[in-house]
Amino acid sequence: MLTAITREASATIGNCALTYLPRVKIDTDLVLKQHQEYQAALASLGCELVTVPTEPGLADSVFIEDTAIVLDEIAVLCRPGIESRRPEVKGVEGVLKKYRTTASIQPPGTLDGGDLLRIGKVIYAGLSTRSNQSGIEQLRNIVADYAYFVKTIEVTNCLHLKSAVSQVATGTLLINSNWIDRSAFGGMELIEVHKKEAHAANALLVGQRVIYPSSFPRTMKKLVAHGIETIPVDMSELQKAEGAATCCSLIFTTP
């Protein structure tokens, strides 16, 4: 069984932390609607939904992916690179402890879940404005006991590693190679985003299907042409907060 943990969107999402995008007005009601559609897509793919309530002042809390990486054997609680986001972890920790033993990234380490791309026993870790070397080294030491290999990739042109690359099928990645070095993914099939859709590399693979933002139709056509079944979801308001398809859930197997 798949479990998908999501978190309610905050009424203060308009105060979210931004790094690469200009601040524009976010329609809170539309955020809630789009988030519900996203949750419905997860449920349609067989996920059991667990929703964590938000808390006052946690503007970015809907982007629950940044709080942890959940492996088969353990959940590693992250330490977000933006200080205002660190209180988000506590609310997620209590839920994850029902499913996994947990370990935590400690100061001075910082680590955002959006910088972590797990493919089998390899975890690609983005060294970014949000995740530092200490955080990645701590992760490496924690997961080594479970035979995972952590490979560091420098991220300089976008917010997170998964802003530039994500998995869309077994052995296949969706990538914006203007933002990330293709050579880091040797042996994988790489599908390039459409040249007019720079932000289109983030997709959420659930089983054999992909939840994908409907705002990138050209890249979606490329996925379909590769035989990848997509479920389009409108995430336009969440994208204004530098959110994407993988950001809004933590998905893992349960007995």
pLDDT tens column, 1-31: 999 999 999 999 999 999 999 999 999 999 9
8 and 52 Cβ atoms separated by less than 8 Å:
yes
Domain boundary assignment for the chain: 2-253
Per-residue CA distances from 128 to 19, 44, 54, 164 (Å) = 11, 34, 26, 12
Q: What is the pLDDT of residue 54?
A: 93
Least Cα distance to 64 among 102, 32, 96, 33 occurs for 96
Tokens of 247: 């950001």
Q: What is the pLDDT of residue 56?
A: 87
Domain covering 2-253, topology: L-arginine/glycine Amidinotransferase; Chain A (3.75.10)
Active site residues per annotation? 160, 247
CA atoms within 13 A on the CB side of 193: 27
d(CA 3, CA 249): 10
Mean pLDDT taken over the chain? 97
Report, as an integer, the average pLDDT of 216-245.
Answer: 98
Tokens of 22: 């200009």
User: Which residues is 52 bridged to in the sheet?
Assistant: 7
Pairing of strands 209-213, 204-206: antiparallel
Give residue-wise pLDDT tens across range 63-116.
999 999 999 999 999 999 999 999 999 999 999 999 999 999 999 999 999 999
In the DSSP assignment, the letter for residue 61 is T
pTM of the complete model: 0.97
What percentage of the chain carries pLDDT values higher than 70? 100
- Whether residue 251 has pLDDT greater than 90: yes
Tokens of 214: 């409907």
Per-residue burial over 9-42, b if 16 or more Cβ lie within 10 Å, else e, is: bbebbbbbbeeeeeeeebeeeebbebbeebbebb
